Structure 1
Amino acid sequence: MKSITSTEKATRINLLDFSSIQMRTFHLSWIAFFLCFFGWFSHAPLLHSTIGPDLDLTKDQKTLAFIASVGVTIFARLGIGNLCDKIGPRKSYVYLLVFGAFAVAGSSFATTWETYLLSRLAIGVIGASFVITQYHTSVMFAPNVIGIANATTAGWGNLGGGVTNATMPLIASGVVAFGLAEANESWRIAMWIPAAIMLFVAFLYWKYTTDCPKGNYEDLPNERPQAKKGEKSLFLSAVNDRRVWILFLMYAGCFGMELFVTGKASTYYQTKFSLSQEAAGVVVLFFGAMNLFARSTGGWIADKFAKNSGLNGRVKILVYVVVAEGIALLLFSQMDVLGFAIASMVFFSLFVQMAEGATYSVVPFINRKALGAVSGIVGAGGNVGAVLYAQYLLRSGSSLQDAFFAFGFVVAAVGFLGLLVKFSPEDEAAAVAEQKKLEEFEAKLRAEEKERNSYNDNDGAPQVAI
């Protein structure tokens, strides 16, 4: 069954539908984000045992490289949201994928701390891919499934962070096994693998997606988001909404923590539990693997709550899961036995991903005209959080275990800020009316399908159901 559309937005998600523009965009957006995330964190699992020794990096320099990579994404995400509103998500993603491919491959030429730092800054720009993914999904899917659609594309894309931790050490080992480079320089050739795949996906994105269900913005200027005469610019209207900044902080609590853990978990397991680079990478894969379903679950639950509790029901779910995330992080930080540490990490990851999905089930309803700006600002919050966590680690001199413990309290406290996100009665009424319209539309289509199926294709005689 293909995706049913209302006003050209899909009201169903059929993963096996590759013919509709909505589902092609769905699949290509998460694949593109997956590869960007893979390239973005491709250095993390190799930094402690391969890149660090090759470039003679100190502990502080490794942390600064992480800060640079996630910090520059703050500005990239702010800019890319605005770019989506102006030139469309299709061109934005293609340009970013091409840039990312050159940045990741180019990092292999770094020979000094300074050139390595510049390469990590360049790679950090591709972290803005998340905003395009959320933007593109939001314009392709109707409100009744927007939560799970956004959560699934983002979650499956985030999985790239876990996969890169497990895969890059294996690629580097393969480079050595085939005699292409010495062990300490194997990372240089390994970086060309994700770069080449990113270029291929950029071609697919250009060929098989459009800016919106009706086509591309350059051909349909009326479909492009724009402020009416006399109104504030779309970006300023988003900046002046306090709910945007509350979600900014809450996303710092969930996605910011995911970034921090993805970048530091391999080192954590190598130093605390004396695991090898390859073994630590496999363990961290479990953290990322929760993206397969956990983030989608957060969006799905938010969509379900919205049916009975409205937009404020979406916010309540967000509060619950962020507070639960903080408690789970406290638990993880106290585990000194490897098996318990892995189990508690997976439990913590469950709530991290659910919180991210719940956040972006709320974002599309804050300001529909300024969707790109809101998505960009909130998305940047995740990177601000990751930078602050890393700065605390750098300046406090704390161990990773002690830092995780402190961050657990911070995340739980941030969760309660969601109680300040409110929607007006007019917003709630509009959402209810839109939901009712969608339900009536789907009911009509189901009735038409049932009527068609009651006759055979040849002579119109009623079919007998067995």
Structure 2
Amino acid sequence: MKAEKFNLFSFSGKMKMMHMSWMAFFISFVVWFNAAPLMSVIADSLGLSKEQIKTLLILNVALTIPARIIIGMVTDKFGPRLTYSALLIVCSIPCFMFALGTSFEQLALARFLLGFIGAGFVIGIRMVSEWFPANELGTAEGIYGGWGNFGSAAAAFTLPAIALVFGGEDGWRYAIGATGGLSLLFGVIYFLNVSDTPKGSTYFKPKKAGALEVTSKADLVLLVVMKLPMYATLALLAWKLSPEGVKMFSQSSTELIYGLLILVLAIDLYLTYQVNKHLFDGPVPEFERYPFKQVAVLNVLYFSTFGSELAVVSMLPLFFAETFELGLAQAGMLASSYAFMNLLSRPGGGWISDRFGRKPTLMILTAGLALGYLGMAQINDQWSLPLAVLMVMTCSFFVQGGEGAVFAAVPLIKRRLTGQIAGMTGAYGNVGAVFFLTVYSMVSTQLFFYVIGASALFGLVSLLFLTEPKGHMTEVNEDGEVTMISVN
């Protein structure tokens, strides 16, 4: 594996695995965001109200937080090849449901279920980590994440054109149905063309299923603490759908959801204890340990980076339109410069991390992120439009470079748990998005940018607790054979 060169234009060996995986991720994001650029047409076709449109957008992300946790566990247990293929194939069903929907209720159910495909990102993180050595891992994960994440922008550019080609009232149905067909087809292609590990390598699986393993009592407490914001975010989403929000649910239904969340949290905590109760019998051998604080810090950083990206992408077109008195189409094109940076900045963040270390790179990029949002908070109608776009693109580089640097570190913590760690960190990105969008709905745009900048400063402080990965991580297979995996 180490002897094979990193050749971006190769489509064999480890490079084939990376290319196949970012394509799968790209398609998953096309499907996940396929309704956004067509929402006005869909609303006209079915007579949807503004409140119903808002509800569909909320439902699109509601399931992704728990889905990333679940998919992370499934990936570690069954391998990325089977998991990614199954996800793409199964999620084509709600995609077709949405394309054929004739009522708001049918669209809402399909959109809710489609939130699951947003968890596809987690799977490729484990796949790429199996094929690339540590000194190339950041670059490979950055390309996977950056190029795949571009699927949302591709959907915005291509799907309206596809709808126009088919034309008529049902043009949007053909466009959305086409993405479902693409997902179904590529799920089969992926299964037939990848393997979980290079020939002769071992795919390490978690020792216990049902929850993330930790290796000390203090880490168990920290794990429980880190679970709470995810449940709080799901409760916030339920509140947004309640009579106090977009009025999709009745008060009794909302209270039932709160009760279910408390029940699921109790079950989650019980399973977490069951998986880790051996910690109360004695210490874990030194070579088996990993510091969960690494995961917690990366969660906080992804909250600020990917969380802010999702939130800013949602509000930036309107911000440009109102600030510079532009048409929505022109404002949307200019705002897309933020998402376009994904193609280079996320791989760039991973590459810098490979060359100069995980912690120093994250420190620099997180500081740049804080300054970037401070700069964006200063944009007003007195700025020239080119300068405003330049400010947005500069901030975007640090945001997406930071995302690449976060996932350059995630696979170097504990190999057999990479899917679950990636799932939790990825979920924190969605937690951040919900939090920032909620803030945006309550305060001025300037204060919204300041809040994101403050979260980045908190991330910068948390980085003081991150330990630069060094030496090896140790894994033990089912036969008791010990394998040392370099993290340098």
Q: Select 1:328's aligned residue among 348, 355, 372.
A: 372
1:166–1:282 contact (8 Å) kept in structure 2:
no
Aligned equivalents of 1:64, 1:342: Cα separation in 2? 30
Could you tell me how far 1:63 is from its partner in structure 2? 3.9
Could you tell me how far 1:54 is from its partner in structure 2? 4.1
- Report which stretch shifted further, 354-363 or 49-58: 49-58
DSSP-derived class of the 1:293 partner: helix
2:204–2:415 contact (8 Å) kept in structure 1:
no
**Match of residue 20 from structure 2:** 28
Q: Which amino acid aligns with 1:33?
A: F
Aligned equivalents of 2:354, 2:374: Cα separation in 1? 29
Alignment of structure 1 residues 364-383 onto 2, 5 Å = 364-383=411-430
Aligned equivalents of 1:70, 1:12: Cα separation in 2? 38
Q: Which runs of 5+ in 2 are unaligned?
A: 224-291, 474-483
Q: How much is the aligned-residue C-alpha RMSD, in angstroms?
A: 2.8
Q: Which runs of 5+ in 1 are unaligned?
A: 307-313, 439-466
C-alpha spacing 1:137/1:383, structure 2 compared with 1 (3 Å): same
**Match of residue 246 from structure 1:** 297
Aligned equivalents of 1:252, 1:413: Cα separation in 2? 11
- Report which stretch shifted further, 205-214 or 332-341: 332-341
C-alpha spacing 1:233/1:187, structure 2 compared with 1 (3 Å): closer
Could you tell me how far 1:147 is from its partner in structure 2? 0.9
Alignment of structure 1 residues 75-154 onto 2, 5 Å = 75-154=66-145
**Match of residue 404 from structure 1:** 449
Note the alpha carbon deviations across 1:153-184, whole angstroms, 9 max, x for none.
Answer: 111101112222222233333333xxxx23xx
**Match of residue 291 from structure 1:** 342
C-alpha spacing 1:104/1:262, structure 2 compared with 1 (3 Å): farther
Note the alpha carbon deviations across 1:322-348, whole angstroms, 9 max, x for none.
Answer: 231132123224323543332222112
Aligned equivalents of 2:374, 2:35: Cα separation in 1? 27
Q: Select 1:236's aligned residue among 213, 237, 240.
A: 213
C-alpha spacing 1:429/1:23, structure 2 compared with 1 (3 Å): closer
Q: Which amino acid aligns with 1:246?
A: V
**Match of residue 398 from structure 2:** 351
Q: Select 1:428's aligned residue among 470, 482, 485.
A: 470
Could you tell me how far 1:112 is from its partner in structure 2? 3.9
Alignment of structure 1 residues 221-232 onto 2, 5 Å = 223-227=203-207
1:93–1:129 contact (8 Å) kept in structure 2:
yes
Could you tell me how far 1:11 is from its partner in structure 2? 5.6
**Match of residue 351 from structure 2:** 300
Aligned equivalents of 1:251, 1:161: Cα separation in 2? 18
**Match of residue 442 from structure 1:** none
DSSP-derived class of the 2:470 partner: helix
Could you tell me how far 1:143 is from its partner in structure 2? 0.7
TM-score, length of structure 1 as denominator length: 0.78
Alignment of structure 1 residues 39-58 onto 2, 5 Å = 39-47=31-39, 49-58=40-49
1:77–1:379 contact (8 Å) kept in structure 2:
yes
**Match of residue 278 from structure 2:** none
Aligned equivalents of 1:273, 1:42: Cα separation in 2? 28
Note the alpha carbon deviations across 1:367-406, whole angstroms, 9 max, x for none.
Answer: 2221111111111111111111223334x2x355553343
Aligned equivalents of 1:330, 1:55: Cα separation in 2? 41
- Report which stretch shifted further, 157-166 or 329-338: 329-338
2:125–2:411 contact (8 Å) kept in structure 1:
no
- Report which stretch shifted further, 187-196 or 337-346: 337-346
DSSP-derived class of the 1:223 partner: coil
Note the alpha carbon deviations across 1:49-105, whole angstroms, 9 max, x for none.
Answer: 333444555555444433322231111110111111111100100111112322223
2:128–2:141 contact (8 Å) kept in structure 1:
yes
Alignment of structure 1 residues 116-265 onto 2, 5 Å = 116-176=107-167, 181-182=168-169, 186-214=171-199, 223-227=203-207, 235-237=212-214, 240=223, 241-265=292-316
Could you tell me how far 1:417 is from its partner in structure 2? 1.6
Aligned equivalents of 2:63, 2:297: Cα separation in 1? 21
Note the alpha carbon deviations across 1:351-373, whole angstroms, 9 max, x for none.
Answer: 11100010011111222221111
1:323–1:415 contact (8 Å) kept in structure 2:
yes
- Report which stretch shifted further, 377-386 or 189-198: 189-198
C-alpha spacing 1:42/1:345, structure 2 compared with 1 (3 Å): farther
C-alpha spacing 1:53/1:32, structure 2 compared with 1 (3 Å): same
Q: Which amino acid aligns with 2:27?
A: L
1:172–1:187 contact (8 Å) kept in structure 2:
yes
Q: Which amino acid aligns with 2:343?
A: L
1:131–1:376 contact (8 Å) kept in structure 2:
yes
Aligned equivalents of 1:336, 1:173: Cα separation in 2? 35
Aligned equivalents of 1:118, 1:349: Cα separation in 2? 33
Q: Which amino acid aligns with 2:193?
A: Y
C-alpha spacing 1:66/1:356, structure 2 compared with 1 (3 Å): same
2:97–2:107 contact (8 Å) kept in structure 1:
no
Could you tell me how far 1:189 is from its partner in structure 2? 2.4
Q: Which amino acid aligns with 1:18?
A: F
Note the alpha carbon deviations across 1:406-461, whole angstroms, 9 max, x for none.
Answer: 323333333332222225xxx62437x9769x9xxxxxxxxxxxxxxxxxxxxxxx
C-alpha spacing 1:121/1:343, structure 2 compared with 1 (3 Å): same
C-alpha spacing 1:315/1:100, structure 2 compared with 1 (3 Å): same
Aligned equivalents of 1:271, 1:316: Cα separation in 2? 38
